[in-house]
Structure 1
Amino acid sequence: MTRSARDPLYRRHRFPLSLRMVEDMLAARGVIVSHQTVGLWAEKFGRCFANDIRERSAGRLGDKWYLDEVVITIRGKKHWLRRAVDQDGFVLDVLIQSRRNAKAAKRLIRKLLKGQGSTPRVMITDKLRSYDAAKREIMPGVEHRSHKGQNNRAENSHQPIRRRERIMKRFKSQRHLQRFVSIHDPDFANLFHIPRQDTPSAHCREVRAAAMQMWSEIAHL
């Protein structure tokens, strides 16, 4: 993969930019590609990079799961973007669903268990009852805290995708959204995520430098 393809992929997933914005930024540097090509590169190579990031980041995620969902409207129909994050704000997994019931919650929890390879120490959600029903069936021994105020970490983690939604003028389909968030949120976003609360600026710079170094190694820059 050439550098001319790696650079737009980095811009696409690192910053809340539309495909046309990436096209214009590349044109300013003398790289002429269409926004359609940028999108094709992001889909074709994004998963490979995301898998590499996930392998290198294995073992760094926490054992405290915060689960939440947000409504995403696609072609006039409501969908629910379910998300799980850990105590440090790292995204564990995301799932787009057309239902908001216990069956949908079970699917998310099973996906999390498969991806993480272990049960959490505690699961925190809002007061949506479907989470409690799913937890009782799949993880009966796990502590479950259901309180609106304790779930802010998961709720705040929806903000980046909301910004993307506005810039991209909504997502085209459920498949389109799932494909994008499954690459961006648990992998690219986690790589550059810096827990900033009560974190010294010097440490933030160190974490950012380490993330950039890992990206350089993955992208062979």
Structure 2
Amino acid sequence: MKPISYARHRFPPDVIRHAVWLYLRFTLSYRDVEDLLAERGLEVSNESIRRWVLKFGSAIARNLRSARPRPHDHWHLDEMVVSIGGQRMYMWRAVDSEGEVLDVLIQRRRDTAAALKLLRILLKKQGFAPAVIVTDKLGSYGAALRT
């Protein structure tokens, strides 16, 4: 994990980390986080919380992702139809054998190019090739895996 510098900030790093975690982990607004901190006796403005999220949010998320254990080497790939804004789209999803969602991709098409894009993103993001890939026998997966 790369250390994050909280120099020149009025509040201690634990308060900043907790406020950013509350905002990113739960569907809260900046004002909701401000209220939760006020219940603990901390007077922090919602603007400060917004600035902390913008400044430290990506670094905290990156450190959390790097500390996450490596996913299992059995991946399950599937796709399903979803309606977004009245348009028919396909949601491609990859899940490991433990049920951890590895990635989700939304595409207009259900073809080889979309399956290939999902596989490339997965391999780049995970950094290793799985031992077993389980699919629903869609022909696009076979073509993408051969490529």
Structure 1 residue ranges (4+ consecutive) displaced by more than 4 angstroms after TM superposition: 77-81
Counterpart of 1:101 in structure 2 is 110
Structure 2: how far apart are the matches of 1:122 and 1:88?
Answer: 13
1:75-95 superposed Cα distances (whole Å, 9 cap, x missing partner): x35565543221112232333
Are 1:64 and 2:70 an aligned pair? no
User: 1:211 is matched with which residue?
Assistant: none
Counterpart amino acid of 1:12? Y
Cα distance in 2 between the residues matched to 1:23 and 1:72: 35
CA displacement, residues 152-180 of structure 1 (integer Å, 9 cap, x when unaligned)? xxxxxxxxxxxxxxxxxxxxxxxxxxxxx
Runs (5+) with no aligned partner, structure 2: 1-5, 7-12
Aligned to 2:142: 136
TM-score after normalising by structure 2: 0.66
What corresponds to 1:91 in structure 2? 101
Structure with greater proportional helix content: 1
Matched, 1:23 2:29: no
Measure how far apart 1:110 and its partner are: 0.6
Q: How many Å separate the matches in 2 of 1:80 and 1:49?
A: 31
Offset at residue 51 of structure 1 (A): 2.1
Q: 1:9, 1:72 → 2: CA distance?
A: 32
> Residue 7 of structure 1 corresponds to which residue in structure 2?
18
Q: Residues 67 and 136 of structure 1: is their aligned pair in 2 closer, same or farther, counting only changes over 3 Å?
A: closer
Structure 1's 37 and 72: CA in aligned 2 closer, same or farther, altered over 3 A?
A: farther
Aligned length: 131
2:60 pairs with 1:54 = no
Q: In angstroms, what is the RMSD of aligned CA positions?
A: 3.1
Find the aligned partners of 2:48 and 2:114 in 1 and give their Cα distance.
Answer: 35
In the alignment, structure 1 segments of 5+ residues that lack a partner are 142-221
Query: Which one-letter code corresponds to 2:45 in the other structure?
Result: V
- Quickly say closer, same or farther: Cα 1:11–1:82, change in 2 above 3 A: farther
Q: Please state whether the residue corresponding to 1:27 is helix, strand or coil.
A: helix
Amino acid in structure 2 at the alignment position of 1:140: R
Q: Which has the higher contact order (CA 8 A, sep 6+)?
A: 1
**% same residue:** 37
C-alpha distance in structure 2 between counterparts of 1:43 and 1:77, whole Å? 32
Aligned to 1:33: 45
Task: Judging by fraction of residues, say which structure has more strand.
Answer: 2
Name the larger-Rg structure.
Answer: 2
Q: In structure 2, what residue type is equivalent to 1:7?
A: H
Pick closer, same or farther for the CA change 1:117–1:32 going to 2, 3 Å: closer
Counterpart of 2:145, as a letter, is M
1:137 positional shift:
3.1
